[in-house]
Amino acid sequence: MNKKLKFLLFALLSLSVLFVAACGDNEAEEEGTDGNTEEETTDSDSEQDGDAVGDDLDGELVVYSSRNEVFVQALLDKFEEDTGVEVRALHGADPLQVEEEAANVQADIFISNDIGGLEYLNQNGLLQGGEYENVDTIDEQYRAENNEWVAISTRARGFIYNKDMMSEDEVPTKMEDLLDPKWADVENGYVITRGGNGGMIGNVSALRYEWGDEKTAEWVEAIQQNASGILEGHGDIRRAVGSGEYAFGLVNNYYYHQQLEEPTDNNVGFVYADQGEGEMGAIANAAGLGMVEGAPNDENAKAFMDWILQEENQLEFVGESLEVPINPDLDPPFEDAVSVNELQLQDMPLKELGNYFEDTVSLIEDAGLDLELR
């Protein structure tokens, strides 16, 4: 399999959404409540911030995005309204496109539902750093060394389960639990995504960091053999678990919140993985953005980075995705959310995902989990 095909399979994060994700038609349904501005941000403050960023700007801004359009377009419209800059967006883009255009740069900003893709571009010198206003509201572990990329919202992995079919104490609590073949005998069993799904690729990359390749390959083989179903995306999983087709499934946490909002089939629970003492913590990923090296509209791109880091616009970035803000001072803009500070997360800088970016798809395929549905 050539490098481009491997990457394009990985880049299914542009479906969503990609946290998520976005996942094509499935990801387009990932929607909860609108993000609200923090109470301490007054209308006048907002206007002053917008005016400050918009001073002396004109022309256009070209944004490439692998994040679902549902989560991105309102954000871009707001920037256009605040600054007067015309925004041209290419939705469904992937990092490989930015790499292919390096000799003739077209994009100013790249928005990603996965930090692995951003760090891949960074490692290849395709993103530009900067000292952006308010960047210190994002912890250093959630941005590149020189702010070549900055993460804004995050999600964590775990197990959505049908409360009519199993109790919480029957649900796996660790990723390692799925190595046990007993799950093949659970009534209705469990369900996973195909191997080429972005969330699955990020999950496997994190396990490679934690366990090494040999044990991770065993894990991939186990889930391929023991899962009762392999579906296209996480939206399919949460609906199938909600309807009772499967007892539980492996998803990002925001899919649980999406299922709770369904008018029916919403008697579901969620267990964050690896939260016990001495355990590795939940696997996390994030959505973020970076300025493209050689951006044709560099002043507008810098202004966009400053603008996005205003707290009201960080919440706008989260929007209806049901992810949670990485900024610990911002409350998640929907009910019953678990903030990033309340979870035990894997002790892995997100930039490490970039180190595994190219090889994880090969490991998944070699271990026997189809990248695409067959």
Q: Where are the chain's structural domains?
A: 3-366
The three-class DSSP label of residue 8 is helix
The alpha carbon dihedral of 83, 320, 151, 107 has a sign of negative
Identity of residue 106: Q
Cα–Cα distance between 289 and 152 in angstroms, integer?
A: 8
Q: Which 8-state DSSP code applies to residue 143?
A: B
Enumerate residues 6+ apart whose C-beta is below 8 A from 10: 116, 117, 196, 198, 201, 357, 360, 361
What's the distance, CA 1 to chain centroid? 25
| Closest by CA position to 30, among listed 60, 61, 72 | 72
For the domain 3-366, what is the CATH code? 3.40.190.10
How confident is the prediction along the chain (374 residues), in pLDDT tens digits per residue? Answer: 444 434 433 333 333 333 333 333 334 333 333 333 333 434 434 444 444 666 688 999 999 998 888 889 999 999 999 999 999 999 988 888 999 999 999 999 999 988 888 998 999 999 999 999 999 999 998 999 999 999 999 999 999 999 999 999 999 999 999 999 999 999 999 999 999 887 898 899 999 999 999 999 999 999 999 999 999 988 899 999 999 999 999 999 989 998 999 999 999 999 999 999 999 999 998 999 999 999 999 999 999 999 999 999 999 999 878 888 999 899 877 777 777 678 899 998 888 887 887 789 899 999 999 988 86
Q: Which 8-state DSSP code applies to residue 33?
A: P
Cα–Cα distance between 362 and 291 in angstroms, integer?
A: 29
* 213 touches 205 (CB < 8 A): no
Q: Which 8-state DSSP code applies to residue 124?
A: T
What's the distance, CA 66 to chain centroid? 10
Give the pLDDT of residue 369: 93
Give the pLDDT of residue 16: 34
* 318 touches 74 (CB < 8 A): no
Cα–Cα distance between 92 and 115 in angstroms, integer?
A: 16
* 149 touches 140 (CB < 8 A): no
∠108-30-316 over CA atoms, to 5°? 45
Helices (H), 309-359: 311-318
Cα–Cα distance between 307 and 304 in angstroms, integer?
A: 5
Cα–Cα distance between 19 and 353 in angstroms, integer?
A: 14
Q: What is the pTM of this model?
A: 0.73
Cα–Cα distance between 60 and 77 in angstroms, integer?
A: 13
* 286 touches 142 (CB < 8 A): yes
